Structure 1
Amino acid sequence: MRFEQLEVWKRASRLSCDIYKLTESVSNWGFKDQITRSGLSVPSNIAEGEERETLKENIRFLYYAKGSLGELVTQLYIGAEIEYIDKKMAMSMVKEAKELAKILGTLIRQKQTKLKEDRPEYTIE
């Protein structure tokens, strides 16, 4: 399956676009750069993982994407608290990011199970 067909990639891409729109008027370049980078990292890492040759590498990049979601949630909370971004929109995005993290967690577990079935001597830490 191509990454463009994955619902998690589609939703992560939409979230990234929404973050760019939400932060359009943010004047603090450092904050704006960091939050857009973490948002962009999620679908990018999903795509990169799907394009990798091995299941082990694929899983590693899904972990990167999941980690970027944690980073993004933190930045959304902080951005709302310091009033750089609209609180209601930020909380909606936090909800979506947490749902995406759950989906990625499930996908990672499924792929780890397949990896263990294919190579029982191999485990991921």
Structure 2
Amino acid sequence: MDFEKLVVWQRSKALAVDIYREMARCEDFGFKNQITRSALSVPSNIAEGMERRSAREKSWFLWIAKASNGELRTQIIIGSEIAYIAKPLAENWIKETRELSKMLCGLIKKNSD
């Protein structure tokens, strides 16, 4: 299956684009670099995993994507608490990362069957 057709890839890619756009104005380079890298890691690892041959390799990269998604959620929470990210936006992004995590669990399970 083409990874571009996966809803989890589409949504994680859209979230990464949103985060890149929103963080463009952030003057804290360290924070901006970290949050954009973890956001980019989620769809990138989904894509890499789906391009692998074995189920084991696919699962490995999907687990990495899930871990990066958790890292991203942590950074969104911190960004909100230090007022780098507006609370309503952070709440939407946190909700999306939680949904992405569930979707990744489902994809990993499907891949393992």
Partner of 1:49: 49
Instruction: Tell me what 2:108 maps to.
Output: 108
TM-score in terms of structure 2 length: 0.97
Distance 2:106 2:6 in 1: 13
Number of residue pairs the alignment of both structures matches: 113
Q: Which residue identity lines up with residue 19 of structure 2 in the other structure? A: I
Question: Greater CA radius of gyration, 1 or 2?
Answer: 1
Match of 2:97 in 1: 97
Please tell me whether residue 25 in structure 1 is matched to residue 25 in structure 2: yes
Q: Secondary structure at 1:53's aligned position in 2?
A: coil
Which ranges in structure 2 are unaligned for 5 or more consecutive residues? Answer: none
Offset of 1:96 from its aligned partner?
0.4
Cα distance in 2 for partners of 1:98, 1:77 equals: 12
Q: How far is 1:112 from its partner?
A: 1.4
How far did residue 106 of structure 1 move? Answer: 1.0
2:78 matches 1:72: no
CA distance in 2, matches of 1:7, 1:68: 17
